[in-house]
Amino acid sequence: MRRSDLGVHLPATIDRAALAAAIRRLEDEQYHSVWFTETDLVRDPIVHAAAASVLSKSLVVGVGLVNVWRQLPASLATTVANVSALAAGRHWVVLGPWHEPAATYAGVRRHHLIDAMRDTTIIVRGLLRGETVTHAGRVYAVDDLAMPGRTGVAEVPLLWGANGPRMVAAAAELAATGLIDGVMINYLTPVERVREIIELVTSAATAAGREPGTLKFPIALIVLADDDQHRAVEQMRSLIESTAVLRAEMHLSPEAAVTYDLVEARVAAGSATQCSARIQKYLDAGAWPIALYNREPQTLMDRLSESL
């Protein structure tokens, strides 16, 4: 396992000085990417991505993910194009349908989730390619729309955050047509499911004549570096058990038992050696890069440094 196989999620609460220090370290140690994701009304991941794009010279800057209800597709396309320009083409974007109960808490009434994802993808991809887009979608529609002054920008890798069977099937369909470039696999996904998702999407794209090497399958992986593996897993188990959003991410009903084994199979926990061994299993399953997720990323990088 190499640092170039890994990215690091930076927390939404990171301040300016810590962001700059983290970017410097990630570049100095030759990590692949830096990632930002949505949180519940803390800070905007795209704002952080824009800042990281200016600060970094070599890192891929990933937004993994942004939900399709936060702004109209036309506005999202402009945002993506602008951040990509700041990052000199090193910008990856992951679209997602959001989850409950977070969406309802924020006043969003989700509907026709796959249609919303598909409509957004078609409009954003077309605009980024410099096309004039007309699309009469079930959720989003545009008529004769183009981004003024743009004749096309560098292809921005556009991915879906997909885990459930219907969303993965739709993602495979869009990957086959070239509208998306892969899937970012959600945290708390076991290795076996990661392998299934990658095989489904790759098979559909390959059957349509697309080169499988052009597809991307990053994964957000929670890493709990602690010499006491049982303590780390148990703390995570307790958090999932009491958090509705995390239960939703795992597709667990409110009544379902959250067992130690269920959690242990979905995180990298324990000593640096144990965490690295679990990260390697995800790499072996085809996920790449692995976006490490921890509330204290600098401390995490310290702990893992001996095994990289």
3-state secondary structure the chain: CCHHHEEEECCCCCCHHHHHHHHHHHHHCCCCEEEECCCCCCCCHHHHHHHHHHHCCCCEEEEEEEECCCCCHHHHHHHHHHHHHHCCCCEEEEEECCCCCHHHHCCCCCCCHHHHHHHHHHHHHHHHCCCCEEEECCCCEEEEECCCCCCCCCCCCEEEECCCHHHHHHHHHHHHHCCCCEEEECCCCCHHHHHHHHHHHHHHHHHCCCCHHHCEECEEEEEEECCCHHHHHHHHHHHHHHCHHHHHHCCCCCCCCCCHHHHHCCCEEECHHHHHHHHHHHHHCCCECEEEECCCHHHHHHHHHHHC
Is 131 inside a domain boundary?
Answer: yes
Number of domains composing the chain: 1
Across the range 285-308, mean pLDDT stands at: 94
- State the Cα–Cα distance between residues 239 and 235, nearest whole angstrom: 6
Structure tokens at 207: 């059957």
How much is the pLDDT for 3?
A: 96
Structural domain includes residue 197: yes
pLDDT for res 157: 95
Residue 228 lies in a domain: no
% the chain with pLDDT above 70: 98
Mean pLDDT of 84-89: 92
Residues 25-53 have pLDDT tens digits of 999 999 999 999 988 777 789 999 999 99
Q: What is the CATH number of the domain that holds 196?
A: 3.20.20.30
Q: Is residue 120 part of a domain?
A: yes
State the pLDDT at residue 150. Answer: 67
Residue 27 within a domain? yes
Lowest-pLDDT choice from 121-130, 158-167, 239-248:
239-248
State which residues form the domain around 23: 3-222+286-307
**pLDDT category of residue 95 using cuts at 50, 70 and 90:** very high
Calpha distance 191→189 (Å, rounded)? 7
Q: What is the pLDDT of residue 211?
A: 94
Asked whether residue 276 is assigned to any structural domain, the reply reads: no
Question: What confidence score (pLDDT) does residue 181 get?
Answer: 97
Average predicted confidence (pLDDT) for the chain: 94
Q: For residue 85, is it within any domain?
A: yes
- Domain presence at residue 296: yes
